[in-house]
Amino acid sequence: MKKALLTIAALLVTVFSFAKIADEQNPKYGKGAVTTDENGNVCFMETIQIPEGMTPDQCYSILLNWAKGRFAIPYAHDGRILNEDAQARRFIFHVEQTIVFKRTALVADESKISYNFSVAIKGGSAVLKMTDINYRYEEGREGGGQRFSAEEWITDKEAYNRSGTKFLKSTGKFRVKTIDLKEQLFQKATDAVNGDI
């Protein structure tokens, strides 16, 4: 019985170690994956082309309706419009939701993440941005947990060890989950514009 338990424990350690190495070596999470604006603030941005036959106003309407659905409960704890300008074809949502690192019957390792998601229609394209990213980690702990910004936590400088060869345990998981969330949001918005949802 002891041998079986030790074997299972060794396998789990191997699987988790492999997953961590895979994340560190995946270019999706690697150096340069967390981009910043001219002021050094974390800013993820993607430009999508408006499909042929669709007007900028139609694209704006589709993305606004998609965002209103996406940033409502149960997807988010809080999703509200900060700014909406139909004439200029741009809007900004402020969103707060949970990212989960690990959840079992005994453990829930998760964090609240808040961010701004904006859309601006310019000519024949839509510019999507995810900015002003902040975390509230382990709020239920005595003392209220920790609060920090993406600039303090997920940039190349903060997420890697000093030699820049592997993720730090404390910050790497935030980097991975934030990039995953950004990719999911941008993909779902693109799907909405292309009629793929």
Q: What is the pLDDT of residue 174?
A: 95
- H helix runs in 44-163, sequence order: 56-70, 150-153, 156-159
For the segment 126-135, the average pLDDT, to the nearest whole number, is: 98
- Whether residue 25 has pLDDT greater than 60: yes
Closest residue by Cα to residue 34 from 167, 157, 186, 148: 157
DSSP 121: E
Q: What is the pLDDT of residue 139?
A: 78
Cα(182)–Cα(131) distance, integer angstroms: 10
Q: What is the pLDDT of residue 182?
A: 98
Closest residue by Cα to residue 150 from 186, 123, 181: 181
User: What is the torsion angle, in degrees rounded to the nearest 10, for the CA atoms of residue 189, residue 190, residue 193 and residue 197?
Assistant: -80
Q: 93 or 141, which is more confident?
A: 93
% of the chain with per-residue pLDDT over 90: 64
- Whether residue 8 has pLDDT greater than 90: no
- Whether residue 10 has pLDDT greater than 90: no
Q: What is the pLDDT of residue 145?
A: 79
Which residues are CB-neighbours of 110 under 8 A, at least 6 positions away? 98, 99, 100, 101, 103
The structural domains of the chain, ordered by start, are: 39-191 (3.30.530.80)
3-state helix, strand, coil in the chain (%, to 5): 35, 35, 30
Written as six digits, the tokens of 133 are 């990213």
Cα(100)–Cα(110) distance, integer angstroms: 4
Task: Name the band, by pLDDT with cuts 50, 70 and 90, for residue 65.
Answer: very high
Q: What is the pLDDT of residue 74?
A: 84
Q: What is the pLDDT of residue 24?
A: 55
- Whether residue 82 has pLDDT greater than 70: yes
- Whether residue 9 has pLDDT greater than 50: no
pTM of the shown model: 0.84
C-alpha 10, offset from chain centre: 31
Q: For 129-135, which contacts have Cβ atoms below 8 Å and span 24 or more sequence positions?
A: 129/43, 129/44, 129/45, 130/43, 130/44, 130/45, 130/181, 130/182, 130/185, 130/186, 131/37, 131/41, 131/42, 131/43, 131/44, 132/41, 132/94, 133/42, 133/178, 135/111, 135/174
